[in-house]
Amino acid sequence: MTPTTPLLWQTATLERVVPQTARVSSFFFRLSQPFRHVAGQHVDVRLTAPDGYVAQRGYSIGSGPESEPGVIELCIEELEGGEVSPFFHEVAKPGDEIELRGPLGGHFIWTEPMGGPVLLIAGGSGVVPLMAMARHRAALGSQVPMALLYSARVWDELIFREELLQLHGARNGFDLVLTLTRDAEKREGARGRRIDSAMVMEAIDQFPEPPKLVYLCGSNAFVAAASDAVIAAGIAETAIRTERYGG
């Protein structure tokens, strides 16, 4: 077996910040050593304090492979008590440099030749790598059927909301099903409960055949519950790929 060359750390410069929700923003970084990623991959980010203390976290790449060359989008949620996310939200500004390495990950990825239908299921900020897949499909003008079942607490916490609604409105084989678990106000087109097997069936109702691939991303608890709902809907466990974060 041929040993693989380890990915090296490189410098990336923050070019701009785009707020997504009250606690989530997209940070666009220009790489000093550009790479081409696959939808679903992530990078490691490393911050070093003046006293030498190092904090490191992994963040999914939200931009599709066809996005601006040499620039990647990391969508970061500010977490109370976090070591890395507060820096980006409270300190970082355009022109700042950070260290990162990647792209990383070879299992939780999607390319058009992998085919479909494809079911994406996201909880909260777990939508980020799945957004890269949806953007990849859109950039290619792909006809692979794809649906995103996206759960958030309230309407204003739906990351990429307007872009997702536009992708859904194009009616070209991408379908969006939204569900809000804590929003008291009724939203047109949005469900008001946690993901269950009936909702999974609704998400894949327009597919010509059962999904070939299912991608689940969110917290540990969310992925566990969503996996159960997918299996209860009759989808083979072998079709499921998961990525988890947090506790």
Q: Which domains does the chain show, CATH number per domain?
A: 10-104 (2.40.30.10), 112-245 (3.40.50.80)
pLDDT value, residue 194: 87
SS3 167: helix
Six token digits for residue 211: 């999904």
Residuewise pLDDT in 10s, the chain (247 residues): 344 567 899 999 999 999 999 999 999 999 999 999 999 999 999 999 888 899 999 999 999 999 999 999 999 999 888 889 999 999 999 999 999 999 999 999 999 999 999 999 999 999 999 999 999 999 999 999 999 999 999 999 999 999 999 999 999 999 999 999 887 566 767 887 888 898 899 888 889 999 999 999 999 999 999 999 999 999 999 999 999 986 4
> Does the bond joining 103 to the residue before it have cis omega, within 30 degrees of 0?
yes
0.85 cut: is pTM over it?
Answer: yes
Contact yes or no for 92/28 (Cβ under 8 A):
no
The DSSP-derived string for 204-238 is TTT-SSS-SEEEEEEEHHHHHHHHHHHHHTT--GG
In angstroms, what CA-CA distances link 136 with 58, 153, 174, 230? 21, 26, 12, 24
Alpha carbon 180 to its chain centroid, in Å, reads: 18
pLDDT value, residue 206: 85
pLDDT value, residue 216: 97
Burial class of residue 81, CB neighbours in 10 A (0-12, 13-18, 19+) = exposed
